[in-house]
Amino acid sequence: MLEIPFRELSQEALRGVLEEYATRGGFDSELSLDERIDELVEKLKTGKAKIMYDPKEGTTNLVASA
Protein backbone atom coordinates (compact mmCIF):
# COMPACT_ATOMS: atom_id res chain seq x y z
CA MET A 1 0.00 0.00 0.00
CA LEU A 2 1.22 3.46 -0.89
CA GLU A 3 0.17 6.67 0.84
CA ILE A 4 -0.81 9.39 -1.61
CA PRO A 5 -0.22 12.88 -0.16
CA PHE A 6 -3.52 14.63 -0.88
CA ARG A 7 -1.83 18.02 -1.25
CA GLU A 8 0.12 16.68 -4.24
CA LEU A 9 -3.07 15.85 -6.16
CA SER A 10 -4.70 18.39 -8.44
CA GLN A 11 -8.04 19.73 -7.22
CA GLU A 12 -9.78 17.72 -9.93
CA ALA A 13 -8.00 14.48 -9.02
CA LEU A 14 -8.66 14.95 -5.30
CA ARG A 15 -12.33 15.71 -5.96
CA GLY A 16 -12.58 12.56 -8.09
CA VAL A 17 -11.05 10.35 -5.40
CA LEU A 18 -13.22 11.84 -2.66
CA GLU A 19 -16.38 11.78 -4.76
CA GLU A 20 -15.89 8.12 -5.61
CA TYR A 21 -15.25 7.29 -1.95
CA ALA A 22 -18.19 9.38 -0.68
CA THR A 23 -20.65 7.67 -3.01
CA ARG A 24 -19.74 4.13 -1.92
CA GLY A 25 -22.17 4.32 0.99
CA GLY A 26 -21.85 4.37 4.74
CA PHE A 27 -22.40 8.14 5.03
CA ASP A 28 -25.28 9.94 6.69
CA SER A 29 -27.88 10.19 3.94
CA GLU A 30 -28.92 13.66 5.13
CA LEU A 31 -25.61 15.11 3.96
CA SER A 32 -25.20 16.31 0.40
CA LEU A 33 -22.30 15.02 -1.67
CA ASP A 34 -20.52 18.36 -1.27
CA GLU A 35 -20.95 18.18 2.51
CA ARG A 36 -19.55 14.64 2.57
CA ILE A 37 -16.56 15.74 0.49
CA ASP A 38 -15.97 18.77 2.74
CA GLU A 39 -16.00 16.42 5.74
CA LEU A 40 -13.41 14.17 4.09
CA VAL A 41 -11.17 17.13 3.15
CA GLU A 42 -11.25 18.29 6.77
CA LYS A 43 -10.21 14.81 7.94
CA LEU A 44 -7.31 14.84 5.46
CA LYS A 45 -6.21 18.33 6.51
CA THR A 46 -6.28 17.47 10.22
CA GLY A 47 -4.44 14.19 9.69
CA LYS A 48 -7.39 12.05 10.80
CA ALA A 49 -7.46 10.29 7.43
CA LYS A 50 -5.09 9.56 4.56
CA ILE A 51 -5.39 8.36 0.99
CA MET A 52 -3.94 4.93 0.33
CA TYR A 53 -3.38 3.26 -3.05
CA ASP A 54 -3.06 -0.51 -3.43
CA PRO A 55 -1.10 -1.11 -6.65
CA LYS A 56 -1.79 -4.84 -6.54
CA GLU A 57 -5.57 -4.32 -6.49
CA GLY A 58 -5.54 -0.99 -8.34
CA THR A 59 -7.76 0.56 -5.67
CA THR A 60 -7.69 3.82 -3.76
CA ASN A 61 -9.16 4.19 -0.29
CA LEU A 62 -9.35 6.65 2.56
CA VAL A 63 -8.27 5.18 5.86
CA ALA A 64 -8.26 6.52 9.38
CA SER A 65 -4.83 7.63 10.57
CA ALA A 66 -3.48 6.03 13.72
pLDDT tens digits for 15-56? 999 999 988 866 666 888 899 899 999 999 999 999 999 999
Handedness of CA 35, 45, 20, 22 (dihedral sign): negative
Record the pTM.
Answer: 0.84
User: Is residue 66 over pLDDT 90?
Assistant: no
Q: What's the confidence (pLDDT) of residue 24?
A: 82
Contacts within 8 Å (CB) and 24+ apart, 7-12? 9/51
Query: 21 and 64 in contact (C-beta within 8 Å)?
Result: no
Continuous H helices in the chain: 11-22, 33-45
CA-to-CA distance for 4 and 60, rounded, in angstroms?
9
Q: What's the confidence (pLDDT) of residue 27?
A: 61
